[in-house]
Structure formats: structure tokens, C-alpha cells
């Protein structure tokens, strides 16, 4: 089976081509803040990112022949995890999605490219709206605003399974499954999500997109509610501009004008005190969220797993470990396994080993 996996993130479009479980091509196409700022809305990046995918395949001599195309995404209604075939209900909900996120493009690009081929099917797997919250975690101080989650479900689960497989490989007589573990998993990407996983379910995890949790390279995280309301009524910003102050032009992008962690660390080394304070504040907020997840798990934690692009950074990881390693052993999985997870999920579905769910 030949599978094209497409993962549009907030700062990159990652693609991979798999022949069964063998990767034939893996590419990370990075997008600068300036490049993406030409597009008023994320959905407007559709043609741009789709063409980049086609160009990357051509440049690498990959023939446009696939059994399935799978995209990461999108921000649909809350649904159980798993593999879903793209259908009209999904495309309709994505096109009119209330929330803007690059992963919405994954579903749309997969669908459009698959339609160019006879017998090629389009899928998504474990989108960011996978919802397994404990009921107690949904309650906020306002009945008007129950909590929802939008998080890196695909990667957090893939990393959890990888950690369990590593434990099993180390002690084959004592096989361990993700479903046996209590884990805190922290995805450090353009957005940051921190999940408390209890026996294979994310019982609490922040809404990394809509202003909840730590701030991140391009998200505001939790904001002071009163000040936010005042800003809404200040006539200083239109609604869409204010939304960008929560997701897009927020976090490190708003404070420092860049989401590029290596560049920020370079300027800290060159003596930029503001960059140092802001980046350290982001690390501090991530550590506090890990502490909150520890409480959700009653302090019974097998491991803390740090993943996402920023987990490549020794500067960030060493400072995080300093604050949280008293809670549990910390393991680092830099980058993400999302492309492989997409491909493996779809391969399982095409082989009949995993159910293909229908989005309604
Ligand atoms: N080698 C590296 N060292 C430090 N930071 C890095 C490195 N590579 C990428 N990053 C940082 O990781 C962040 C992007 O992470 P990632 O690629 O996981 O995000 P994304 O896929 O664009 O968005 P998201 O994960 O939120 O969907 C950026 O802030 C980038 O600067
Ligand atoms: C759906 C992914 C969540 C995020 O980027 O914050």
C-alpha cells in the first residue's frame, strides 16, 4: 500500500510517503511568520500549502500514485479517537469550522488530492478534537462556558505507545501497554498541550488553541479574563484581530516577533534580556501545567514525556526538567511521530485491522 501523509502545523507542512510501513520520503516544509502573514485566514493557505506538497513530491521524484492520502485534522465536532474516512459532512464542517487551525487544511488537501486519482481514498486519524475528558474536568466557574479540548491527540498518543513499546522491549517478560500507564505528555510545538493520560485516556488536557494552558510560540494560553473583556470593548481591534491575539500573533510571536526557538536562544546568548525573560516565562508556564496534570493523576505518574519541535532544545528541556523532575522520571522525544502515526493508522484501516469510523 502506498500512502501519502500530510500534516499541516502552525509553523510547517510536513509530508511523508510510505510503502506500507517503510518511509520513502519525509519532508518538513517550514513557513516563516512573514510568509503566512500574507493570508488573512488559515483556510486561505489551502492552495499555497497544497502546491507545496505537490512540488515536494515532484522535486523528490515521487510518482503521484497512492492508495490513500491521510491528512491531520481537523477541528470538527468532539469525537472519539480513531480513523475516519473523509466524507461530505466532514468537509462541510471543516469549511465552516468555527476554529481556525492549519490542521483543517490536512483534511481538505487529502480530499482534493485523492480525488485526482482513481481508487484513492482520503482519511484523517486522531484529530485534535478527540475528547476523553473526565466529567469533572469539563466544569468551569461559568455554566455558560464548559471546557472543551483541542490538543495534539495524534502525537501524544503515538509517543505514549512508543514509550510503552520501549518498556516492553526492555523487559519482554513484562509487556506494557499505553492502557496500563499514567502519563503526563507535553507537546511543545507552535501550540503547547499538556495531557494527563490515565490508562489510555486523556482525562484532562488543555485547549491549546483557544486560550487555555501555557503560552506557546504562537498562542496566548490562559489570559486574564477581565482584561480580555475590556480589550474586546476597547474598539482598538476587530474581532478577527483579537482572535489572532489568542492564536497566531500571540505568545513568542507577539512578544518577540518570531516563533523560531533556535533564533531566540541565539539572541539570548547575544545578551537579549527580554528574549530570556519571555522564553523562561513560557517554560515556567509549561512546568506549572505539568504540575496541574500531576494533581489530575493524584500524583501517581509513571513518566513525564516531552515531545514536539521544541523538545529538540537543550535550553528549554534542561530548564523544564529542573522544575518538574521531582514529580516523575522525564523522557524526551524530540519532534513528533505524527506522519508515521497517520500512515500506520490508515494502513491498519485499509488492512481491516482497525475500524474505519464514519463522521456524522
Ligand atoms: N532543532 C530545534 N531546536 C529548538 N526548537 C526547534 C527546533 N526545531 C523546531 N523547533 C521549534 O519547534 C516549534 C515548532 O514545533 P513543531 O514543528 O512541533 O510545531 P508545528 O507542527 O508547526 O505546530 P504544532 O505542533 O503546534 O501543530 C517552533 O517554535 C520551532 O522554532
Ligand atoms: C489540534 C492541534 C492543537 C494545537 O495546535 O494546539
pLDDT for residue 86: 96
Q: Does the CB atom of residue 215 touch ligand 2 within 6 A?
A: no
pLDDT higher than threshold 80 for residue 10 = no
The per-residue pLDDT for range 222-231, each reduced to its tens digit, is: 999 999 999 9
pLDDT higher than threshold 90 for residue 11 = no
pLDDT higher than threshold 90 for residue 318 = yes
Radius of gyration in angstroms for the set of CA atoms belonging to the chain, rounded to a whole number: 20
For the record, the C-alpha cell of 229 comes out as: 473583556
Strands 83-85 and 68-71: unpaired
Establish whether domains 2-128+338-357 and 153-334 are of one fold. yes
Q: Does the CB atom of residue 189 touch ligand 1 within 6 A?
A: yes
Give the Å distance between the CA of 153 and the centre of ligand 2. Answer: 8
Residue with the smallest CA separation from ligand 2 atom 3 is 151
Residue with the smallest CA separation from ligand 2 atom 1 is 128
Give, in order, the Cα–Cα distances in Å from 90 to each of 188, 339, 354.
28, 21, 20
> What percentage of the chain exceeds 90 in pLDDT?
89
Give the least confident one: 48-52, 162-166, 224-228, 244-248: 244-248
pLDDT for residue 349: 94
Q: How many helices and strands, by DSSP H and E, does the chain display?
A: 13, 12
Residue with the smallest CA separation from ligand 1 atom 2 is 312
The per-residue pLDDT for range 82-100, each reduced to its tens digit, is: 899 999 999 999 988 778 8
Of 276, 218, 285, 224, nearest to 252 by C-alpha is 218
**Helix, strand or coil for residue 68?**
strand
Give the Å distance between the CA of 6 and the centre of ligand 1. Answer: 16
Residue with the smallest CA separation from ligand 1 atom 6 is 310
pLDDT higher than threshold 80 for residue 49 = yes
The per-residue pLDDT for range 291-301, each reduced to its tens digit, is: 999 999 999 99
pLDDT for residue 98: 73
pLDDT bin (cut points 50, 70, 90) of residue 73 is confident
Distance in angstroms between the alpha carbons of the first and the last residue of the chain? 27
pLDDT higher than threshold 90 for residue 52 = yes
**Mean of the per-residue pLDDT values for the chain?**
95
Which atom of ligand 2 approaches the CA of 10 most closely? 5
Q: Does the CB atom of residue 191 touch ligand 2 within 6 A?
A: yes
In the predicted model, what is the mean pLDDT of residues 340-344? 94
337 vs 23, higher pLDDT: 23
Q: Would you report the helix, strand and coil content of the chain in percent, each value rounded to 5?
A: 40, 20, 40
| CATH class, range 153-334 | alpha beta
Q: How far apart are CA 252 and CA 272, in angstroms?
A: 14
Q: Which numbered ligand comes closest to the C-alpha of 97?
A: 2
Burial pattern 154-175, b for ≥16 Cβ within 10 A else e, equals bbbbbbbbbbbeebeeeeeeee
Give the least confident one: 31-45, 187-201, 235-249, 275-289: 31-45
pLDDT higher than threshold 90 for residue 48 = yes
pLDDT for residue 34: 85
Which helix (H) or strand (E) segment holds residue 192: the answer is strand 192-198
pLDDT for residue 9: 85
| CATH class, range 2-128+338-357 | alpha beta
The per-residue pLDDT for range 153-206, each reduced to its tens digit, is: 999 999 999 999 999 999 999 999 999 999 999 999 999 999 999 999 999 999
Q: Which residues contact 323 (CB under 8 A, 6 or more apart)?
A: 283, 284, 287, 290
Q: Does the CB atom of residue 218 touch ligand 1 within 6 A?
A: no
The whole model's pTM is what?
A: 0.90
Q: Does the CB atom of residue 191 touch ligand 1 within 6 A?
A: yes
Domain assignments of the chain as residue spans, ordered by start: 2-128+338-357, 153-334
In the predicted model, what is the mean pLDDT of residues 214-220? 97
Q: What angle do helix axes 273-296 and 261-269 make, rounded to 10 degrees? A: 130
pLDDT higher than threshold 80 for residue 282 = yes
If one residue of 7, 107, 127, 209 were mutated to test the ligand 2 pocket, choosing by the most ligand atoms within 8 A of its CB, it would be 209
- Tell me the sheet residues that pair with 79: 130
The per-residue pLDDT for range 22-32, each reduced to its tens digit, is: 999 999 999 98
pLDDT bin (cut points 50, 70, 90) of residue 101 is confident
Residue with the smallest CA separation from ligand 1 atom 21 is 9
Amino acid at each position: 500500500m502506498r500512502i501519502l501523509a500530510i500534516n499541516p502545523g502552525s509553523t510547517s507542512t510536513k509530508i511523508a510517503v510510505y510503502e506500507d510501513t517503510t518511509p520513502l520520503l519525509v519532508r518538513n516544509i517550514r513557513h516563516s511568520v512573514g510568509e503566512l502573514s500574507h493570508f488573512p485566514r488559515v483556510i486561505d493557505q489551502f492552495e499555497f500549502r497544497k502546491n507545496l506538497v505537490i512540488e515536494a513530491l515532484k522535486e523528490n521524484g515521487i510518482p503521484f500514485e497512492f492508495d490513500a492520502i491521510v491528512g491531520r485534522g481537523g477541528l470538527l465536532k468532539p469525537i472519539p479517537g480513531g480513523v475516519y474516512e473523509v466524507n461530505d459532512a466532514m468537509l462541510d464542517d471543516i469549511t465552516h469550522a468555527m476554529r481556525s487551525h492549519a490542521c483543517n487544511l490536512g483534511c481538505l488537501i487529502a480530499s482534493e488530492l485523492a480525488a485526482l486519482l482513481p481508487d484513492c481514498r482520503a482519511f484523517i486519524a486522531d484529530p485534535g478534537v478527540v475528547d476523553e475528558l473526565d466529567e469533572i474536568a469539563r466544569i468551569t466557574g461559568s455554566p455558560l462556558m464548559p471546557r472543551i479540548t483541542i490538543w495534539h491527540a495524534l502525537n501524544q498518543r503515538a509517543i505514549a505507545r512508543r514509550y510503552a513499546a520501549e518498556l516492553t522491549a526492555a523487559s519482554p517478560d513484562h509487556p506494557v501497554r499505553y492502557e496500563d500507564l499514567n502519563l503526563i505528555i507535553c507537546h511543545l510545538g507552535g501550540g503547547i498541550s499538556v495531557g494527563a493520560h490515565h490508562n489510555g485516556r486523556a482525562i484532562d488536557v488543555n485547549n491549546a488553541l483557544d486560550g487555555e494552558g501555557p503560552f506557546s510560540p504562537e498562542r496566548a494560553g490562559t489570559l486574564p479574563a477581565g482584561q480580555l473583556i475590556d480589550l474586546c470593548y476597547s474598539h482598538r481591534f476587530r474581532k478577527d484581530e483579537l482572535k489572532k491575539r489568542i492564536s497566531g500573533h500571540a505568545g513568542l510571536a507577539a512578544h518577540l516577533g518570531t516563533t523560531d526557538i533556535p533564533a531566540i536562544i541565539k539572541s539570548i546568548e547575544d545578551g537579549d534580556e527580554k528574549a530570556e525573560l519571555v522564553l523562561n516565562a513560557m517554560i515556567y508556564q509549561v512546568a506549572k501545567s505539568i504540575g496541574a496534570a500531576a494533581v489530575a493523576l493524584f500524583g501517581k505518574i509513571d513518566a513525564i514525556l516531552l515531545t514536539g519541535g521544541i523538545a529538540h532544545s537543550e535550553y528549554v528541556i534542561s530548564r523544564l526538567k529542573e522544575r518538574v523532575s521531582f514529580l516523575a522520571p522525564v523522557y524526551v522525544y524530540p519532534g513528533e511521530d505524527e506522519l508515521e502515526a497517520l500512515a500506520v493508522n490508515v494502513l491498519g484501516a485499509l488492512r481491516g485491522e482497525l475500524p474505519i469510523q464514519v463522521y456524522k
